Amino acid sequence: MLEVSRKDVLSDALMDFDTESRFIKLPIHSYLDLLGITPNSAQVSLINAINNPKYRFVCAAISRRQGKTYITNVIGQLVSLVPNSNILIMSPNYALSQISFDLQRQLIKHFDLEVVRDNAKDKIIELSNGSTIRMGSVNQVDSTVGRSYDLIIFDEAALADGKDAFNVALRPTLDKENSKAVFISTPRGRNNWFADFWQRGFNDEFKDWCAIRATYHENPRFSEEDIIEAKKAMSQAEFAQEYLADFNTYEGQVWNFSFEECVADLSQLDTSKMDVFAGLDVGYKDPTALCVIAYDWDEEKYYLIDEYMDAEKTTEQHAIQIQERIQKYGIDYIYIDSAAQQTRFDFAQNYDISTINAKKSVLDGIGHCSTIVDNNKLIIDQRCANTLSAVDQYQWDPNPNLMKEKPKHNMASHMSDALRYALYTFETTATSF
């Protein structure tokens, strides 16, 4: 179903704004007619939100086969027809940016526009009217800065970590009075920058943001047979992600964590009669992650009450953070990555922090922890943002050449490893203490 955060953005018909206030200066109805396009309700909502002078940032979670990449490229070219405009179309990587580059070439050819520069290597097109259409990738964002843009489009935004790319590198380039940014993608879980940007559209503190979510129902070309075949070919999680634009789950997730039932305010939790322990994953260039867990023997539930995660800090700086939590919670056991023996020695020798080597069998540990998580036996404090992100974003490596299943190494790995060390080792050794 179609969801639009702002009530003044219509989905049933393209809205008319006066020429001076609207973002797309040329008549979009005529342009779409020339292309033979009858926009569906998702596309109509997207165009209306972009054209509306009230909204500078538009974030759209749109399901598969809705023509989201095509329609944003159409909008990009429409903007480029105004002389001396600069458009940037960002993709997760260089390969995906080729799709937009090819689309722009096709549109230019269709309308027989005069091109003065077509650089396939750098993916830059300059029109005779002085406008420039540039393709960029998130992993090479530095090559796109140093100029002002009228419109920045982030295509397949959820596939890359684009928060810093936008906030640090590209936000300052939107320095024209009416410049805009559009973020469009199918979702990839709820704890990531794309989901955060989408939520801004529903937040009155971000009045110049608009959010859209569209499922396959908005595409009239879908038949019931198409959907039946898709459900047969996909897992439930993959179908929800790709066809329902569902933020709650995605294909390849390791943990089946219920955010609705298992996130709570644990600030007043009485842990005096519980066992309190921690898992510690030691990073060097990667972050060091610590999670603190209390186990209630009567309820047979685990309560994750605190966390710590930071990168590129000294052993002493990590030790100070850990000592504070030992004193605050009375931590009984700290299960540490057994590969970090130097850190373990330093903690004991210099900071009086005692640790226990964790059980590290990855698949056994994940399987054991999944039993806890899947049965809603792990409750996480709502303030533990790194852990909540980890249980959402930790995923299996999709590489088909792997001899056996293993988790993908990403930013969710560090706290997930700490969580696995803690739960797996405690459950399998607690009775021996």
What does the pLDDT read at residue 327?
A: 96
Same domain, yes or no: 220 and 273? no
For residue 402, the model assigns a pLDDT of 59
pTM: 0.67
Average pLDDT score over residue span 178-193: 87
Chain centroid to CA 394: how far?
12
Structural domain ending residue among the three candidates 244, 279, 309? 244
Which of 184, 218, 244 is the last residue before a domain boundary? 244
Whose structure tokens read 């293993």?
406
226 and 288 share a domain? no
252 lies in a domain? no
250 falls within a domain: no
CA–CA gap between residue 239 and residue 255 (Å, rounded): 17
Asked whether residue 254 is assigned to any structural domain, the reply reads no
d(CA 33, CA 118): 27
Q: Are 243 and 368 in contact (CB under 8 A)?
A: no
For 5-59, what is each residue's pLDDT tens digit? Answer: 999 999 999 998 988 899 999 888 888 998 898 899 999 999 999 999 999 999 9
Residue 117 forms part of a structural domain: yes
Query: Alpha helices, DSSP H only, in 119-216?
Result: 163-164, 193-200
| Domain end among 186, 218, 244 | 244
- Per the prediction, the chain carries an average pLDDT of 89
What is the 8-class DSSP label of residue 142?
Answer: G
Q: Say whether pLDDT at 432 is over 50.
A: no
Q: What integer is the mean pLDDT of 405-412?
A: 79
Residue 57, in any domain of the structure: yes
Is residue 332 very low, low, confident or very high in pLDDT (cuts 50, 70, 90)? Answer: very high
E-strand stretches of 282-395: 288-296, 301-310, 333-336, 356-357, 378-381
For position 251, what pLDDT does the model report? 61
Torsion of CA 347, 348, 351, 355, to 10 degrees: 60
For the cut 70, the answer to whether the pLDDT of residue 250 exceeds it is: no
**What's the domain count of the chain?**
2
pLDDT in tens, 203-237: 999 999 999 999 988 877 777 888 888 888 877 77
> How is residue 149 annotated by DSSP?
-
Give tens-digit pLDDT for 104-160.
999 999 889 999 999 998 899 999 999 999 998 887 777 777 789 999 999 988 877
The pLDDT of residue 96 is 82
Residues 214, 140 share a domain? yes
Q: Which long-range contacts (CB under 8 A, 24 or more apart) does 21-26 make?
A: 21/53, 22/51, 22/52, 22/53, 23/50, 23/51, 23/52, 23/53, 23/79, 23/178, 23/180, 24/50, 24/51, 24/75, 24/78, 24/79, 25/82, 26/78, 26/81, 26/82
pLDDT reported for residue 220: 74
Residue 73 has pLDDT above 50, yes or no: yes
- Could you tell me if 96 and 225 lie in one domain? yes
Name the residue with higher pLDDT: 392 or 400. 392
Answer yes or no: is pLDDT of 433 > 60: no
Above pLDDT 70, what percent of the chain? 96
Average pLDDT over residues 355-367: 90
Active-site residue, 3 included: no
pLDDT reported for residue 302 = 97
Instruction: Tell me the pLDDT tens digit for each residue of 334-349.
Output: 999 989 999 999 999 9
Decide: 277 and 422 in contact? Cβ < 8 Å.
Answer: yes
Quick check: helix, strand or coil at residue 2?
Answer: coil
Taking a C-beta distance cutoff of 8 angstroms, is the pair 431, 425 a contact? no
| pLDDT tens readout for residues 79-100 | 999 999 999 999 888 778 889 9
Residue 108 resides in a domain: yes
Q: Mean pLDDT across the stretch 258-278?
A: 93
CATH number at residue 154: 3.40.50.300
Q: Look up the domain containing 384 and give its range.
A: 259-432
Tell me the pLDDT tens digit for each residue of 298-329: 999 999 999 999 998 999 999 999 999 999 99
- The verdict on residue 68 lying in a domain is yes
Are 234 and 272 part of one and the same domain? no
Q: 165 is written with which tokens?
A: 């790319």
Question: Looking at residue 404, what is its pLDDT?
Answer: 62
Q: Catalytic: which of 3, 20, 156, 251?
A: 156
Residue 126 belongs to a domain:
yes
Report d(CA 340, CA 245) in Å as an integer: 41
| Residue 270 shares a structural domain with residue 223 | no
Q: Do residue 283 and residue 195 come from a single domain?
A: no
**Cα dist from 392 to 24, 205, 372, 412, whole Å:** 38, 26, 15, 8
* One domain, residues 231 and 271: no
Q: Tell whether 204 and 98 lie within a shared domain.
A: yes
Q: Do 164 and 24 sit in the same domain of this protein?
A: yes
